Amino acid sequence: ETGVTQTPRHLVMGMTNKKSLKCEQHLGHNAMYWYKQSAKKPLELMFVYSLEERVENNSVPSRFSPECPNSSHLFLHLHTLQPEDSALYLCASSQGVSNEQFFGPGTRLTVL
């Protein structure tokens, strides 16, 4: 595998479920990101990890919980989501923050 991979590519979950999105980068980068892309809004940056240290974003609801166990892996844990959380969730990585980001293909999430 090369680049940035995301699994699953599609996910349907109920509002009471708990699920996790996984991202893996094979580029040796030291920063990773989670974005949300919904139909009516621009790309929204949710979380940033630099050197495995999380940079806080207080505007993201606590029902989204990120985890970065090492520089190659990033997870987004989901629980008690709302239908308005349905969107494409994109992971990206870069070598140094603010530099060129490489995006994965995204996970299309539908919350019923």
Partner 1 sequence: LAKTTQPISMDSYEGQEVNITCSHNNIATNDYITWYQQFPSQGPRFIIQGYKTKVTNEVASLFIPADRKSSTLSLPRVSLSDTAVYYCLVGAIYSGAGSYQLTFGKGTKLSVIP
Distances (CA, A) of 86 to 19, 71, 83, 89: 13, 27, 6, 9
Q: Which residues bind partner 1 (CB under 8 A)?
A: 4, 31, 42-45, 48, 50-51, 53, 55-57, 90-92, 97-106
Q: How many CB atoms lie within 10 A of CB 42?
A: 9
Residue 94 C-beta: closest distance to partner 1, Å:
9
76 vs 64: CA distance, rounded Å: 7
Q: Which is nearer to partner 1, 16 or 98 (CB)?
A: 98
Q: Which is nearer to partner 1, 13 or 45 (CB)?
A: 45
Residue 8 C-beta: closest distance to partner 1, Å:
14
Residue 81 C-beta: closest distance to partner 1, Å:
21
